[in-house]
Amino acid sequence: MNREYPDRPFVGVGAVIIEGGRVALIKRGHAPAIGEWSIPGGTMEVGEMVREAVVREVREETGLIVEAGELLGVFDRVLRDSADQVQFHYVLIDFLCTLRGGQLKAGGDAAEGRWFTAEEADDLPLPEDTAEIVRQVLANPGR
């Protein structure tokens, strides 16, 4: 099924990964939101559990090995074109993930991967729901 102008929403997963007071973010290499920073993640595959999907997506996009922990939220991401038609529609399930290994590097759909402090992340044009989760987790990393 085509992700652009779909006839149903896609289920996506995202990972908030904190290490040393910094959050791992990727610069998107493909639409939607190409060139924008985001938490690592992607769409689920058929037969895959949501926590398995987030672990796989993080490894593909960042080279990091994580364990999926706390569910942080479920979010709608509907992007419309200039004619107000639904161009992309995702239901996103975000998890707090614990870093278990690997080195942050861009892979898969990511054009770049970097660690950001809270102040640096605040300066990025992240989607508001993503920015809020990142702020909350960075302010309270022990949760």
Give the catalytic positions in this structure: 112
Average pLDDT, the chain: 92
* Residue 49: partners with Cβ closer than 8 Å, 6 or more residues away: none
**Cα–Cα distance, 54 to 25 (Å, whole number):** 14
* 1 pLDDT more than 70: no
pLDDT attached to residue 143: 61
Is the pTM for the entire model greater than 0.85?
yes
Domain boundaries, the chain: 10-139
DSSP state of 46: T
**Does the pLDDT at position 142 exceed 70?**
no
What pLDDT is stored for residue 55 in this prediction? 98
Structural fold of domain 10-139: Nucleoside Triphosphate Pyrophosphohydrolase (3.90.79)
pLDDT for residue 32: 75
* Average pLDDT of the residues in 22-32: 86
